[in-house]
Amino acid sequence: MIRIDGLSKRYAGADYFSVKEVSLHVKPQEIFGLLGPNGAGKTTLISVLCTQLAPTSGSFQIAGVSPETSTRLVQQQLGMVPQEYSLYPSLTAWENLMFFGSMNGVGKRLLKNRIEEELDSLGLATFAHKRIQTFSGGMKRRVNLIAGILHKPKVLFLDEPTVGVDVQSKQVILKKIEALNKAGTTLVYTSHHLNEAEDLCSSIAIMDQGSILCQGAPKDLIREAGVTNLEALFLLKTGKALRDYA
Amino acid sequence: MHKLWAAARKEAQLLRRDLGGLAILFVMPIVLVVTITLIQDSSFKSISQLEIPILWVDLDQGPIAAQVLTGLKASEAFVISEDSNEDIAAQLVRQGDYKLALVIPEGLSEELKEKVTGKVDATLATFGIAETVDSIPESEATSTQEIKLYFDPVTQQTFKNSVKNGIDKLIAQVESEMIYQAFETALNEGETSSTSFAEEPFIAYKEITMGHSEASDDHTLNSAQHNVPAWALFAIFFIIVPLSVNMVKEKGQGTFARLQAAPVSYLTLLGGKTIVYISVCLLQFLLMLLIGRFLFPVIGLPQLDIANRWFLLFFVALCAGFAAIGLGLLLGTLANTQEQAAPFGATFVVILAALGGVWVPVFVMPPFMQALSKLSPMNWGLNAFYEVFLRQGAWQQLLPDIGLLLGFFIITTGIAVVYHRKQHRI
C-alpha cells in the first residue's frame, strides 16, 4: 500500500538530513507503527508522505500512485491526523468538520451523515455545535481524528493521536483506530506510548536521526533482539542518551 | 465549486466570530472618515469661506481706512474685531487670539489724497491743463506709508499671501477711485460729475470646471468628495491586515498544513478568502457612501454628491477591493508570523495611502513624489473615484485605472500562488 524508496529530506539551511535514505514497505490493511525518540524524523517522514513537504531525494508511492504522477491522486488516497489539533478554535466541531470534509471532496449530504455518525461514535454528538476553543484536550483529539477520516481514506497517517489525553479518551481513540483498520484502512501510526504500539501494530519501524534502525513485526523484533518487550528493544536500538534539540 | 463555496463559508464564519476584527473593518473607517473630514473641511474651502478672526487697528480714521474696512467686511472672509492700540493688537496676535492684526497708519488717507492730487495736477500740467505742480514737495511725493500686518506664526504662507493680495486689491481700488475723482475735480474745476466711479470691474472672471459632461461644473472637490472615496480606499486596503493575519494564523494552528494534505488547490483556498473579503470591501464602501450622503449634512459637512453614479462607484470599489485582497493574499503567503504580517501590513497601507494622495492631494506633492504616487494602487483607485465623482467620467475614462487595479490583483495573487507552489513543490 505504501512503498518508500531511498527517501531523504533536508530542510533549507539545515546541515543534516531529517530523513535519511529511508526505504519501507507497508502492506494493505496493516497498522504500521513508526517509532522513535524526539527528533528522529517521524513527523517529517509523515509530512513528506502526506505531500506537505517535498522530499530532497528518493521516491514513494501510495496505493500505487506516485506524487510525481499526480499529487492530487495521492492526496485522494490519504487521510491525516496531525500531532497538533489543527482545527479552527472559533468554529464549532460541526463547522470544522464540514469544512475539512468538503476540502477532501465529500458531498454535502453524505458529509452531514458521516459527521453525525462519527461524532456519535466518538461520544461528541452533544458537543457538535460548541466551539472548539471550549473543548478539553481529549475532545479536541477526537475531533482532530474525525477530520482526518470523513472521506474514508485508504491510508491514514496518525501522528501521536493519543498524546496528552486522559485514559477514557485514549481508549475511545484506540478503539476507533482498530475499527478503521478492520474496515480496511491501512494505518501509519507514530507514538511514544510503546505498550500501546506493541498491542496495536502489526508491523513497526524504529527510527533515529532520520534513519530506520529496524523494521518488522514487533514480536519478531523483540525475539530476535533477545529482549522482553518493545520498550527494551527501543532503548537497545536508540540508546539512553537524551534527545534535546534547539 | 463545492470546495470554493465551503472555503468561503468557513472564512465568513471565522470573520463573524471575530468581533474585534469586524470592528476594525467597519468602525475604524467610519471614525476616520468623519474625523478627517471634519478636520480637513476648512482646508478645502476657499479663504472667502473661512471667517478668520482678525483685529483691525485704525490709526488713520480717514476715508481710506473706512473703505478698506468696508471691503474686508464685504468679503465675509473675516470676523473683524477693532482695537485702537497697535501694541495691544500685536500682543493679542502673539498670544494666538487672532490670526492677523491689520494696522492702518495715521494720516494715510490725507497723505494718499495729497499724493494723488499732486500726481494728477502734474500730469495735467504736462498737457497744459493745470497751471503749476510746485505745491508738492519732492520728499513727500516719494515717501511710502506702511500698512502693518501682524501674523500669528502658525499661519501658513499661502494664507499670508491671500490676505496681502486681498488688501492690495482693496487699496488699489481705493487709489484708482481717488485718481479718477481727482481728474474729475480738476477737469470740472472743482465740481464732480454725476458719473460716479464705476464700482463694477470692466474685466471679470468666469470659472468653468472641466469635466467629461456638461453637468460637471457643479462637481468641485470639497472635503466630502475627497475624503469619502479616499478613506473608503484606505479602509478597503486596510483589509490586508486582517486577511494576512488570518492566513498566518492558519499556518500557526496547523489547519493550513492539514489542508496541504487535502486534494484542494491553493487557488481554491485563496478564492474562498477573496469572495468573503471582497464582500466586506463592498459593504465598507456602501457604509462610507451612506455616511457621506446622510450623516455629513447633519454634522455640518458638505453632502457627498453621488449623482446617480452608484454602479460605476461600486465597480471602482470592487476593482480596488480586488487589488487590496491580492496584496493581502501575497503578504499572508509570504509572512510566517503575525508579528511580520500585522505591522508590515499596517505600515505599508499607510505608505500607499500617503503616496496615493489620500491625505494630501497628489498635485501639491513635489514632482518626484508625484511620479512615485503613480505606483500606488490607492492612487489608481482615487483617480478612478475622482473620474466618477468629479469629472463625470464614463467607462472608457475609467479603463486605465481599473485596468491597473485588476492587473495588480492578478499579479499579486499569481505571485502568491507561484511562491506557494515553489515552497511546497513535491
Does residue A243 lie in a domain region? no
Whole-angstrom distance, CA of residue B40 vs CA of residue B303: 14
Domain B47-187 has CATH 3.30.1490: no
Q: What is the DSSP letter of A85?
A: -
Looking at every residue in chain B, the average pLDDT score rounds to 83
**What rounded mean pLDDT belongs to chain A?**
90
Percentage, residues of chain B above pLDDT 70: 86
> What integer is the mean pLDDT of B417-421?
91
The Cα–Cα gap between B380 and B358 comes to: 11
Mutate to test the interface with B, among A59, A60, A99, A145 (most CBs of B within 10 A): A99
pLDDT of residue B93: 85
Residues of B at the A interface, defined by Cβ within 8 angstroms: 2-3, 6-7, 9-10, 13-14, 17-18, 253-255, 257-264, 424-426
Three-state secondary structure call for residue A6: strand
Residue with cell 500505487: A64
Is residue A89's pLDDT more than 50? yes
Q: Which residues on A lie below 8 Å from B260 (Cβ)?
A: 50-52
Average confidence (pLDDT) over B407-426: 89
Any CB–CB contact under 8 A between A88 and chain B? yes
Q: Residue A100 falls within a domain, yes or no?
A: yes
Least confident of A129-138, B56-65, B119-128, B139-148: B139-148
> Among the listed ranges A1-5, A200-204, B201-205, B363-367, which one has the minimum average pLDDT value?
B201-205
Radius of gyration of chain A (CA): 18
Nearest CA distance, A91 vs chain B (angstrom): 7
* Cα gap B325→B320, rounded to integer Å: 9
Classify residue A109: in a domain, yes or no.
Answer: yes
Rounded mean pLDDT, B151-179:
80
Which of A117-131, B107-121, B197-211, B412-426 is least confident?
B197-211
Instruction: Provide the shortest C-alpha distance from residue A103 to chain B (in Å).
Output: 6
pLDDT at B46: 53
Higher pLDDT: A240 or B347? It is B347
- pLDDT for residue A140: 93
Q: What is the pLDDT of residue B139?
A: 47
Q: What is the pLDDT of residues A203-220, one digit of tens each?
A: 999 999 899 999 999 899
Read off the pLDDT of each residue in A166-176 and give the average, rounded to a whole number. 89
Position A52 confidence tier, pLDDT thresholds 50, 70, 90:
confident
b/e burial code for range B227-243 (CB count within 10 A of at least 16 → b): bbbbbbbbbbbbbbbbb
Chain A closest-CA separation from residue B329 CA (Å)? 19
The answer to whether residue A241 scores a pLDDT higher than 80 is no
Which of B11, B13, B258 to mutate to test binding with chain A, by most A CBs within 10 Å of its CB?
A: B258
pLDDT over 80 (residue A101) = yes
pLDDT level of residue A233 (50, 70, 90 thresholds) = confident
> Is B424's CB within 8 Å of A53's CB?
yes
Section A179-192 average pLDDT:
91
Helix%, strand%, coil% for chain B, nearest 5 = 70, 5, 25
Q: Is the pLDDT of residue B155 over 80?
A: no
Q: Do A88 and B255 touch (CB under 8 A)?
A: yes
Supply the pLDDT for residue B147. 85
On whether any CB of chain B is under 8 Å from the CB of A153, the answer is no
Every domain of chain B and the residues it spans: 2-45+213-423, 47-187
Selected residue of B255, B268, B424 to mutate for chain A interface (largest A Cβ count, 10 A): B255
Q: Range of A26's domain?
A: 2-238
Instruction: Give the gap in angstroms from C-alpha B239 to the nearest C-alpha of chain A.
Output: 20
Pick the most confident of A205-209, B96-100, B291-295, B413-417.
Answer: B413-417
Q: What is the pLDDT of residues B311-338, one digit of tens each?
A: 899 999 999 999 999 999 999 999 988 8
pLDDT tens readout for residues B200-259: 666 766 766 666 555 445 556 677 888 888 888 998 999 999 999 999 999 988 899 899
Domains: count for chain A: 1
- Using an 8 Å CB-CB cutoff, list chain A residues near B263: 72, 75-76, 103-105
Chain A, window 89-118: residues with a beta carbon less than 8 angstroms from a chain B beta carbon: 89-91, 95, 98-100, 102-105, 107-108
Nearest CA in chain A to B12: A91
Q: How confident is the model at residue B131 (pLDDT cuts 50, 70, 90)?
A: low
Distance in angstroms (rounded) separating the CA atoms of residues B288 and B233: 10
- Residue A130, domain CATH: 3.40.50.300
In a domain, A244, yes or no: no
A230 in a domain, yes or no? yes
Q: What is the pLDDT of residue B12?
A: 95
Task: Count how many Cα atoms sit within 13 Å of the Cα of residue A129 in the half-sphere of its side chain.
Answer: 0
The verdict on a CB contact (< 8 Å) between A99 and B3 is no
DSSP A39: T
Which pLDDT value is given to residue B193? 56
